[in-house]
Chains A and B, each alone.
Chain A
């Protein structure tokens, strides 16, 4: 299952995205960030939460096509070591 995200993920837009993240029975979910030029801590919290949900049910979460600017945020916080970036 692949979920493509579009636009900025910030404090205001993150709750919208959170409401749309329904994984169902999928055991492998890919979140495609190709069209996400910006992500703040609100987006990071979402990714971390999704990662824990998938781990909890024995599945896997992959983060794909991370742009350089978002990658830097993941690196600064150490999230790139926790999340499965592909």
Chain B
């Protein structure tokens, strides 16, 4: 398995769990209120789905742009710029969190009244909303720090923070809901976010932590962060608008008694949040490769991400087609009047999941490559534009079944429309990644697991490749020597471990070598490093002879760049 794929796969479980935890966190309040407070509690929390989406949107408005720009700047070896983005992102996350809480406090009463739900549901929603305000301020900060920590290569701590948030939320919410009703549940959610932030602060004590403070930012950076983030976060604002529209439509046409079914439908669509874990797993690597202007490796990561997205989407769809009752039992729906309709609704809506998985992946990917508008248009089409057009249309013809069918169909339709657009713009060669293909011919990647034979093989291949490309023998030989000696030092430093490495030869702007490995973090370019063998002496002398060299720990692995 190649270095890029092994890194992607190592990020995938933590990223998927993080998103699953986030989904479960959104769900946990529905589950807790549904089981403890009954269908009224479930309906009240479901009215809040739009608010949850807005809070997530606010967190993402800062996070996605910052993490992409941070990794891309590190990819281009601009550490101070990267840290400038992190500083700006942190300030924005705190500021936006407080602002969101303030705005939600002001609009609480009129928005709940506008739903027109029954008095019992409205009262419970109002109580929940009030006590959710601290969580609304904390969640963007927790989400921001979690993503940045993960982007900086600390997937394990990021995973732990989500676990702390989920467990903290559940452990606190259950007794608090039993004691204080919906308000207690909201307080538990805030305590969970606080627990996550505390866990994430440990990342700053980690060796190789690149997150740091720098005043190296300007006002326009904020706009850049927001523009990029909006592309990715548009799905949340789209979903928030859809939730408000769906709630209002369903209450008006089918009455409050259809709200529990709608809650299950919303939850089924909400599962797609987990699929964002694939894009999150791809993001640190893809952004670094984009920063290095390496379409070859960017595409390699994204193809793997596409396969993973489809596998997750199809897997969950098949599971729900076979066992729709899983969703119902999660929230405690068991009344005979609701169960048949809810089961059918889950089955219909689950068919949207594979398309939604791809929509979410490309929503993030188009942001990575700076196509924020395309990203926003595709996502808003899939989660808002087409559903809002289709569900009243289908609903007026086929009733509630028509509404669910519209929701199941919209993402696939959006995907087809965007695919046709991308094909028209980028042609078949550029499909679906829209990356410039002119740099690929001058790029070559060598992947290896470190042992003397594979290292010498890679060194010989690099030399032969450069010779075939017309590079003078002296430089080709120096590059080959650098590959062998540097990787043998890495091999010796990690004796007994299975270490993967990746060597990129880039002839686009002169001769550049990028050597990555996932061994212990150390700076091989340091000419003052201790010399303990003839090999380390030669490496030290080679480094002196190559003035254009950089070492940067990137997303948790060694990355060395040499211009020969």
A residues engaging B (CB < 8 A)? 8, 10-13, 37-38, 40-42, 44-45, 48, 68-70, 72-73, 76-78
Shortest distance from the beta carbon of A68 to any chain B beta carbon, whole Å:
6
Asked if B477 and A38 sit within 8 Å, CB to CB, the answer is yes
Contact string against A for B residues 478-494, beta-carbon threshold 8 Å, 1 for contact and 0 otherwise: 10110011001000000
B residues engaging A (CB < 8 A)? 452-453, 455-456, 459-460, 463, 473-474, 476-478, 480-481, 484-485, 488, 533-535, 537-538, 541-542, 545
With A40-B485, A41-B534, A77-B541 in contact, do A11 and B477 touch (Cβ < 8 Å)?
Answer: no
> Among A10, A68, A77, which residue has its beta carbon within 8 angstroms of that of B474?
A68
Instruction: Find chain B residues with CB under 8 A from A44 CB.
Output: 534, 538
Once bound together, how far apart are the Cα atoms of A78 and B455, in whole Å? 25
Shortest distance from the beta carbon of B535 to any chain A beta carbon, whole Å:
4
Asked if A41 and B473 sit within 8 Å, CB to CB, the answer is no
Once bound together, how far apart are the Cα atoms of A58 and B537, in whole Å? 28
CB nearest neighbor in A for B476:
A69
CB nearest neighbor in B for A76:
B541
CB nearest neighbor in A for B537:
A77
Asked if B481 and A40 sit within 8 Å, CB to CB, the answer is yes
> Among B455, B474, B476, B485, which residue has its beta carbon within 8 angstroms of that of A41?
B485
Instruction: Find chain A residues with CB under 8 A from B480 CB.
Output: 38
Instruction: Find chain A residues with CB under 8 A from B473 CB.
Output: 37, 68-69
Once bound together, how far apart are the Cα atoms of A8 and B478, in whole Å? 13
> Among A38, A70, A77, A78, which residue has its beta carbon within 8 angstroms of that of B463?
A38
Once bound together, how far apart are the Cα atoms of A38 and B474, in whole Å? 10
With A10-B456, A38-B463 in contact, do A72 and B541 touch (Cβ < 8 Å)?
Answer: no
Instruction: Find chain B residues with CB under 8 A from A78 CB.
Output: 541
Once bound together, how far apart are the Cα atoms of A73 and B535, in whole Å? 12
Asked if B456 and A12 sit within 8 Å, CB to CB, the answer is yes
Shortest distance from the beta carbon of B562 to any chain A beta carbon, whole Å:
14
Asked if A69 and B477 sit within 8 Å, CB to CB, the answer is yes
Shortest distance from the beta carbon of A52 to any chain B beta carbon, whole Å:
13
Asked if A76 and B488 sit within 8 Å, CB to CB, the answer is no
Asked if B474 and A11 sit within 8 Å, CB to CB, the answer is no
Once bound together, how far apart are the Cα atoms of A77 and B533, in whole Å? 12
Shortest distance from the beta carbon of A80 to any chain B beta carbon, whole Å:
12
Asked if A76 and B545 sit within 8 Å, CB to CB, the answer is yes
CB nearest neighbor in B for A7:
B460
Q: Which of B453, B456, B473 has the most CB of A within 10 A?
A: B456
Instruction: Name B's interface SS.
Output: helix
Shortest distance from the beta carbon of A37 to any chain B beta carbon, whole Å:
7
Asked if A10 and B538 sit within 8 Å, CB to CB, the answer is no
Asked if B541 and A69 sit within 8 Å, CB to CB, the answer is no
Instruction: Find chain B residues with CB under 8 A from A8 CB.
Output: 456, 460
Once bound together, how far apart are the Cα atoms of A84 and B542, in whole Å? 22
> Among B474, B484, B537, B545, which residue has its beta carbon within 8 angstroms of that of A40?
B484
Instruction: Find chain B residues with CB under 8 A from A37 CB.
Output: 463, 473, 477
Shortest distance from the beta carbon of A83 to any chain B beta carbon, whole Å:
14
Asked if B538 and A69 sit within 8 Å, CB to CB, the answer is no
Cross-chain pairs A/B with CB under 8 angstroms, 18 sampled: A8-B456, A8-B460, A10-B459, A11-B484, A12-B456, A37-B473, A38-B460, A40-B538, A41-B534, A42-B535, A44-B534, A44-B538, A68-B473, A69-B473, A70-B477, A76-B542, A77-B537, A77-B541
Instruction: Find chain A residues with CB under 8 A from B456 CB.
Output: 8, 10-13
Once bound together, how far apart are the Cα atoms of A8 and B542, in whole Å? 19
Asked if A69 and B478 sit within 8 Å, CB to CB, the answer is yes
Instruction: Find chain A residues with CB under 8 A from B459 CB.
Output: 10, 40
Once bound together, how far apart are the Cα atoms of A7 and B485, in whole Å? 18
Once bound together, how far apart are the Cα atoms of A50 and B496, in whole Å? 31
Once bound together, how far apart are the Cα atoms of A77 and B478, in whole Å? 13
Once bound together, how far apart are the Cα atoms of A15 and B534, in whole Å? 16
Asked if B481 and A73 sit within 8 Å, CB to CB, the answer is yes
Instruction: Find chain B residues with CB under 8 A from A77 CB.
Output: 537-538, 541
Once bound together, how far apart are the Cα atoms of A68 and B478, in whole Å? 11
Once bound together, how far apart are the Cα atoms of A73 and B545, in whole Å? 11
Asked if A76 and B477 sit within 8 Å, CB to CB, the answer is no
Shortest distance from the beta carbon of B188 to any chain A beta carbon, whole Å:
59
Asked if B481 and A11 sit within 8 Å, CB to CB, the answer is no
Once bound together, how far apart are the Cα atoms of A11 and B541, in whole Å? 18
Asked if B452 and A38 sit within 8 Å, CB to CB, the answer is no
Instruction: Find chain B residues with CB under 8 A from A13 CB.
Output: 456
With A44-B538, A76-B542 in contact, do A38 and B481 touch (Cβ < 8 Å)?
Answer: yes
Shortest distance from the beta carbon of A5 to any chain B beta carbon, whole Å:
16
Once bound together, how far apart are the Cα atoms of A40 and B478, in whole Å? 10
Instruction: Find chain A residues with CB under 8 A from B453 CB.
Output: 12
Q: Which of B455, B473, B476, B538 has the most CB of A within 10 A?
A: B538
CB nearest neighbor in B for A68:
B474
Once bound together, how far apart are the Cα atoms of A72 and B541, in whole Å? 11
